[in-house]
Amino acid sequence: MNVITKGKITDVQELKNIAKKIRISVLHMLTQANSGHTGGSLSAADVAVAIYFSKMKFNPHDPKWKDRDRFILSKGHAAPLLYAIMAEAGYFPMETLDNLRKIESPLQGHPCCKSIPGIEVSTGSLGQGLSVANGMALGLRLDNNPARVYCIMGDGEIQEGQIWEAAMTSAHYKIDNLCAVVDSNELQIDGPVEEVMGIQPIHDKWEAFGWHAISIDGHDMEEILKALDEAENIKGKPTVIIANTTKGKGVSFFEDKVEYHGVAPSLEEFDKAVKEINNG
């Protein structure tokens, strides 16, 4: 069985290069579709690449392999990021990425587990991913399966009350085979997170809910890998990585621009962005 195992890629520069490729694939999809979410797909790219290509074990030829690690993109609007990673990992041909958001395409605006083998759960209704992650992690524990569950949430998303109910559940049941990530880019569709509904201090809140919390630069690959290693070694409680990121990271004219939360690049912007990413 062609299994991609934990620790397959440990070279930091190689992971950075994959992240560049993923960012270009994301922008290509969005430009082709002239629709979708740019900012949050780019901000979470480095963390998602590290999880998939350095830590997770999976088999794209057997997506339901029982010993696989599970990944949940709770912030489902960043679906282009997940699709780009899955294509790079071999779940489906790269040319499928040309069909984002087209009628009858499996690559819809939010991930659908009925359309694409390898997507663990359909997401898009914000706030639900961590609850599902809890259930998966508890199920693995009941089966004595050492696989782990990873769940990426947005910082605007954690304004949802269900996130904190799930957070209490994770701590109560000591779900230590779960690693959550908050993509903290400080912007959501309606503006700065702190103006829409303040969530700080995030780190202290997660710790108060009984989690092991790690705050990092979400674009520093070495810090990301170190945090993922630390999370794997924490026993008796769940771990959350608060990844401090930049909306639209990798393209200067998208960075920290709230208007690019849900706006696709133009053809001119795409060409300029690819040059900037390749030269970065």
* Confidence tier at 280 by pLDDT (50, 70, 90): confident
* Model pLDDT, residue 2: 56
Domain boundaries, the chain: 12-279
> Which residues lie closer than 8 Å to 239 by C-beta, 6 or more apart?
176, 178, 179, 180, 211, 212, 213, 214, 230, 231
CA 128 from centre of chain: 14
CA 227 from centre of chain: 15
* Model pLDDT, residue 8: 86
DSSP state of 58: B
- pLDDT higher at 2 or 228: 228
* Confidence tier at 5 by pLDDT (50, 70, 90): low
> Do the beta carbons of residue 26 and residue 78 sit within 8 Å?
no
DSSP state of 265: P
CATH of 12-279, one of 3.30.70.260, 1.10.10.10, 3.40.50.970, 3.40.50.1980: 3.40.50.970
* Model pLDDT, residue 1: 43
Question: What distance in Å separates the CA atoms of residue 248 and residue 153, rounded to the nearest whole number?
Answer: 16
Query: Model confidence over 13-23: pLDDT tens digits?
Result: 999 999 999 99
> Which residues lie closer than 8 Å to 24 by C-beta, 6 or more apart?
274, 277, 278
* Confidence tier at 145 by pLDDT (50, 70, 90): very high
Mean pLDDT of 144-160: 98
* Model pLDDT, residue 268: 97
Q: Where are the beta strands (DSSP E) in the chain?
A: 70-73, 149-154, 178-184, 187-188, 191-192, 212-217, 239-244
Q: At 57, list the tokens.
A: 């074990």
Mean pLDDT of 127-154: 98
Query: Model confidence over 55-90: pLDDT tens digits?
Result: 999 999 999 999 999 999 999 999 999 999 999 999
Query: Model confidence over 236-256: pLDDT tens digits?
Result: 999 999 999 999 999 999 999
Single-letter amino acid, residue 170: S
> Do the beta carbons of residue 19 and residue 249 sit within 8 Å?
no
Question: What distance in Å separates the CA atoms of residue 74 and residue 55, rounded to the nearest whole number?
Answer: 19
> Do the beta carbons of residue 222 and residue 1 sit within 8 Å?
no
Strands 191-192, 187-188: pairing kind: antiparallel
> Which residues lie closer than 8 Å to 259 by C-beta, 6 or more apart?
none
Question: What distance in Å separates the CA atoms of residue 134 and residue 78, rounded to the nearest whole number?
Answer: 21
Query: Model confidence over 25-46: pLDDT tens digits?
Result: 999 999 999 999 999 999 999 9
